[in-house]
Amino acid sequence: MVELVKDGSTGMEKVVLREPGGATAQVHLYGGHVTSWKNEKGEELLFLSSKAIFKPPKAIRGGIPICFPQFGTFGSLEQHGFARNRFWVIDPNPPPPPPALTGGNNGNGTSSNNNSSSKQQPFVDLILKHGEDEHKIWPHSFELCLRVVLGLGGDLTLITRVRNTDSKNFTFTFALHTYLSVSDVSEVRIEGLETLDYLDNLKDRERFTEQGNAITFDAEVDRIYVGTPTKIAIIDHEKKRTFVLKKEGLPDAVVWNPWEKKARAMVDFGDEEYKHMLCVEAAAVEKPITLKPGEEWRGRQELSAVPSSYFSGQLDPIKVLQG
């Protein structure tokens, strides 16, 4: 089921997706921003700050902001570009719907394919086109489309397309700035980025090579891992939950946690909230994307949350990454 509703507390419009198993997702038109993703038990899987500000020009703190046409300060635009603080619209002419069933994660690691082809995965298509305000700061005609699909089984897929509707080339960087909800970030580890090179945002983007076996957290982290595998696992020991992030067209992965000091400096973020979030962002940053007139780029991120008990109590990252 898909419905457009007005959020009672903020007055903002959002699209609510519900799949028959009970999982839900919601997408605010402001920012084309996924602000909630819950599993069939109603547990929230994305972090949204209790201090998030739902008012332009501030982007919503948490969920999945879209960074376009610039990631971070990699250019002359405002941090992370303007897509996250513009009002998007529901696409009146979306491409055909996704196949009725691609399977989902049923919690024991196998893909469910219960032949219920009558069931449609709820999805919504949003679009952001250049307007006069954008043209003043980024003089290119474009269409940015976002499809959010809530799979039967609860997986969350974001498919983004950028089309060059201009008469000259343009170049952009991009990220799906995903805030995951975790029990305690110091009990979390990321698998899949070991031995990779990263640009350290805390050290003027100097390039380093990841040495550790897995990435764990005991201080501020702000890194752009470049040319990563298509699958990354975020293992929350305390919650006994593993997020699996799969991506296409987005070669890099940004990992961010502001930790204590930066958390205190942010007006729209609680002082202690850094403990309960971790950003792992599918991104295209190191090698900006150039589109010729009429060309289209596509990026995709699929998130699933599986109970760690699925590995019989024994976390097996190899299975997560190669399974």
Ligand X SMILES: O=P(O)(O)OC[C@H]1O[C@H](O)[C@H](O)[C@@H](O)[C@@H]1O
Q: Which of 19, 134, 281, 302 is catalytic?
A: 281
Q: Which of 28, 80, 130, 177 is catalytic?
A: 177
3-class secondary-structure state, position 242: strand
What DSSP letter does each residue of 32-98 carry, written as one string? TEEEEEE-TT--B-B-B-TT---STTSPPSBSB-EEBS--TTSSSSSTTBSGGGSB-EE-SSPPPPP
Q: Are residues 204 and 223 in contact, defined by beta-carbon separation less than 8 angstroms? A: no
Query: For ligand X, which is the closer residue by CB, 79 or 110?
Result: 79
For the chain, what's the residue count? 323
Beta carbons within 8 Å of 284's beta carbon, 6+ residues apart: 71, 173, 174, 175, 249, 250, 251, 252, 299
Please, which residue, 17 or 280, has the CB nearer to ligand X?
Answer: 280
Q: Looking at beta carbons only, is 222 or 236 nearer to ligand X?
A: 222
Phi-psi region of 42 (alpha: psi -120 to 50; beta: other; left: phi over 0): left
Return d(Cα 63, Cα 178) in angstroms, integer: 6
Q: Is the separation of the CB atoms in 73 and 205 below 8 Å?
A: no
- Least separation in angstroms between residue 130's CB and ligand X is 21
Beta carbon nearer to ligand X, 132 or 204: 204
Tell me whether residue 177 is one of the annotated catalytic residues. yes
Cα 53 to Cα 58, 267, 319: the distances in Å are 7, 9, 39
Judged by CB, which is closer to ligand X: 244, or 279?
279
Closest CB to ligand X among 125 and 252? 252
Under a CB-based contact definition with an 8 Å cutoff, are residues 68 and 52 in contact? no
| Residues in touch with ligand X (CB under 6 A) | 59, 72, 79-80, 201, 222, 254, 256, 279
- Spatial contact of 17 and 24, defined as CB atoms under 8 Å apart: yes
Residues facing residue 190 across a β-bridge? 215, 234
Distance CA 291, CA 178 (A): 25
Q: Which residue is nearest to ligand X (CB)?
A: 256
Torsions phi, psi for 308 (to 5 deg): -65, -20
Q: Which of 82, 89, 81 is nearest to 13 (CA)?
A: 89
For the bound state, the minimum distance from the C-beta of residue 180 to ligand X, rounded and expressed in Å, comes to 12
Least distance CB 56 / ligand X (angstroms): 14
Catalytic residues: 177, 281
